[in-house]
Structure 1
């Protein structure tokens, strides 16, 4: 398996979590004026394909600097929830994902430490519909954490993202985040998940070296 880049490009106009500042990229030096180019980038720690550290949601949670570089290498299991392109059933907008559709410990290799969930919502990147993705119930997030796994998603959020189309029965707050980050499990969001990915692969998801609550990553899938 050749390495596969699962990373969204960071660029102005890209989707960001509602209420977050957008990405800016401005020239601070130009070839004409300075003889070289430098670009001033501005974005949050949770832009594009990024990793959430426990400090993102937990008052006493660890920041990225508490982890070694090897902690960002994952033995990943792909869980395809999107359904076959010719099938009648995939996930609907804002549909809750329950433990029933996730593998249990008997279905995982002993070294598996991340479940990568393909919801199909990555196909809506750049559309308003992207924010109405399926979401993990608290029970599903707890199930993943109890398996000893982090989670990777092709969505902007494991919890429901606030939009005008939110349902009255959706959970308040960020219970899936709390279940995962409270257990010390990472969350990697906004993955680009092509249909050619195998069921099992190694995901290297190395963040920028900042002592923060999260950071953009270069997410690359490769052979074990």
Structure 2
């Protein structure tokens, strides 16, 4: 299926499901999520080292729909005005950015409503690089979570669980977004895995790719289940090789524009 067709099909599907998600939220799904989102963060016993997990957003940065995610227009200039100001226009889901629940579920939290406690949390990083090297649409599966727990201990309630697929090494190359035939191709989470993380009380998930779902997803199953449950996601994380599997604390500088479905964020980890 062509990328444009996929995007249109997903748009229609989203509209048809709005009522369902609104009823689900009213039935208490979001209330359950609130406990995880407000969980007291377990701060790392850190050395004070700060790792920037954020890509610089430019008009050339790859986006899901292929359009420039940000545009700059001069408003004031040093020569004429004595100082510099750009007028900046951007799409919410560009660069390293937040997916708020409202991105895929009407009636749920917009980005300005995310509990601040959920934006400072333990970071757990699942290494998916070996699987992704063999399959560009590899997924974090329940067994990957089980292996992480076996090696590192329990995932703290309220944590962010991030996938490190090694995809950051592809930044600047067309293969970050597409395969040789022009189809979306990048790793993501499997719904079975995020369902497990919901039960564990995880507050957010993150990926070093364009989408929480793998590139070959035809239904955005993770978006349609994780976000309506009151959780948030982070896409296009950078530098995950520079943080440990466990022990770092994540700081998410989420935007706070009223009614937003997400937006570019400055994401950092303290190790």
TM-score, with normalisation over the residues of structure 1?
0.85
Partner of 1:188: 234
Q: 1:159/1:20 Cα in 2 relative to 1: closer, same or farther (>3 Å)?
A: farther
Counterpart of 1:98? 141
Give 5+ residue unaligned stretches, structure 1: 162-169
Determine which structure has the larger strand proportion and give its number: 1
Question: C-alpha distance in 1, partners of 2:240/2:217?
Answer: 30
Q: Tell me which moved more, 47-56 or 191-200.
A: 191-200
- State the TM-score, normalizing by the size of structure 2: 0.71
For 1:158-169, list aligned pairs within 5 A: 158-161=212-215
1:89 Cα deviation (Å)? 7.8
| Equivalent residue pairs, number | 211
User: 1:33-80 CA deviation, whole Å, 9 max, x = no partner?
Assistant: 211100111111111111111000012221122233222112111111
1:122 aligns with 168
Q: What SS does structure 1 have at the residue aligned with 2:212?
A: coil
Gaps of 5+ in 2: 1-46, 178-184
Map Cα deviations across residues 2-59 of structure 1 (whole Å, 9 max, x no partner): 1111101011211111254432112111111211100111111111111111000012
Inter-partner Cα distance in structure 2 for 1:51 and 1:181: 11
Aligned-pair RMSD on alpha carbons? 2.1
Q: 1:91 to 1:75 in 2, by over 3 A?
A: farther
Greater helix content? 2
Q: 1:91 and 1:58, CA in 2 relative to 1: closer, same or farther beyond 3 A?
A: farther
Distance in structure 2 (CA, Å) of the matches to 1:97 and 1:20 = 28
Kindly indicate whether the alpha-carbon contact (under 8 Å) linking 1:148 and 1:185 is maintained by their aligned counterparts in 2. no
How many angstroms apart in 2 are the aligned matches of 1:62 and 1:120?
31
